[in-house]
Structure 1
Amino acid sequence: MFNLNALKRNRTMRYGVPMFCLIIGGSFGLREFTQIRYDVQRLKRKLDPSLEAKIDVQRQSTMLEEEYEKLKEVNMDDWKNVRGPRPWEDSREYQEQQRSKQDKKD
C-alpha cells in the first residue's frame, strides 16, 4: 500500500512515463500511417500488364541514332517562334490575328 501511494505521488510516474509512452507510441503510429500512404501510391502506379509490355517494347526499340535521323529530316530553316496568348487575351482572337499576319506575309 505504501509503494502504490508513493508511485501515485511521484512526478515522474504521473507525467514522465505517460509522456514517453505517447512519444514512443506516436512514432510507431506515424510509421504505420506513412507506410499505408506509400502502399497506396505504389498501387496507383501499377499499370495494366499489356500496357506495361507495350511501353517496355517502345523503350527498348527507341535508339539514339533513330532519334537523330528523325531530327535530321526536320527542316529547321523555316521554323518560326510564335508567341502564345497572354492570360488576359482572348485566345481565339489572338489566333485569328496571328493567322491574318501569316497570310499577309505569304
Structure 2
Amino acid sequence: MDLPPSTNKRKLKISTGKNRFVRYGVPFLLLVVGGSFGLKEFQNIKFKYFRNTSVSPEVMAKYGIDMKKKGEVTLETEFEKVKQIDIDNWTNIRGPRPWE
C-alpha cells in the first residue's frame, strides 16, 4: 500500500533535514566544484582580453622614459658591477627616525 504523495514529501523533508551529508556536504561539494569551474572561466576571460603588446623605445622616449637596449643589460654585466663593489670596508649608518 502506497502512502499519499504529501506523506512521501514530508518523509523526504524530514529525512533530508536529519541527514548531515545532504545538509552540509552537498552544498560544500557544489561550492568546491562550481568554484573551480567559475575560476577557470574567469581566468580564460582574463587571458583572452589581456593586452600583450611590446612597447618600443621611441614611444617611451616620447613620454620621457629612457629605455636601455636589449643587449645592454645582461646577467654577466650586472655580475661584473657587483664584483667591483667593496663589501669589506663599510660602516653602519643609522637612518633618521620620524621623531628625530
- TM-score norm. by structure 1 comes to 0.41
Of Structure 1 and Structure 2, the greater helix share is in: 1
Higher RCO (CA-CA < 8 Å; seq separation 6+): 2
